[in-house]
């Protein structure tokens, strides 16, 4: 992802391996932070829960993530995680 292009506030990780999803998510969070996006939606699907657990594990220790939760009812619930990013200081 280039810093010249706008970053979508949503990333879709469904149907990826855990390794590929975490790689893409880490790069995506860096790009979103650089463009001062406050909140992102991470679509990982419900499935077996393996991918959502891995995503939460990455978010838990990521220095750019302020907080995260599952999406509200009707907005993806346990198939989508909403993450609030730290504020970028100039």
Per-residue pLDDT of 13-67, as tens digits, reads 999 999 999 999 999 999 999 999 999 999 999 988 999 999 999 999 999 999 9
* Order of strands, sheet of 80-85, starting from the edge strand that comes earlier in the sequence: 10-12, 39-43, 80-85, 65-70
Q: Are 27 and 40 in contact (CB under 8 A)?
A: no
Q: Give me the pLDDT at residue 47, please.
A: 87
> Domain 10-85 is in which class?
alpha beta
What are 25's two structure tokens?
């998510």
> Does residue 2 carry a pLDDT above 50?
no
Q: Give me the pLDDT at residue 4, please.
A: 67
Largest CA distance in the chain: 41
pTM for the structure as a whole: 0.90
For the chain, the structural domain boundaries read: 10-85
Instruction: Give residue 90's pLDDT band: very low, low, confident or very high (50, 70, 90).
Output: low
């Amino acid at each position: 992802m280039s810093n010249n292009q706008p970053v979508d506030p949503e990333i879709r990780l469904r149907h990826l391996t855990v390794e590929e999803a975490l790689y893409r998510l880490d790069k995506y969070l860096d790009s979103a932070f650089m463009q001062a996006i406050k909140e992102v939606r991470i679509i990982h699907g419900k499935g077996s829960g393996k991918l959502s657990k891995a995503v939460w594990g990455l978010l838990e220790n990521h220095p750019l993530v302020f907080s995260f939760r599952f999406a509200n009812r009707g907005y993806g619930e346990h198939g989508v995680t909403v993450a609030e990013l730290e504020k970028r200081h100039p």
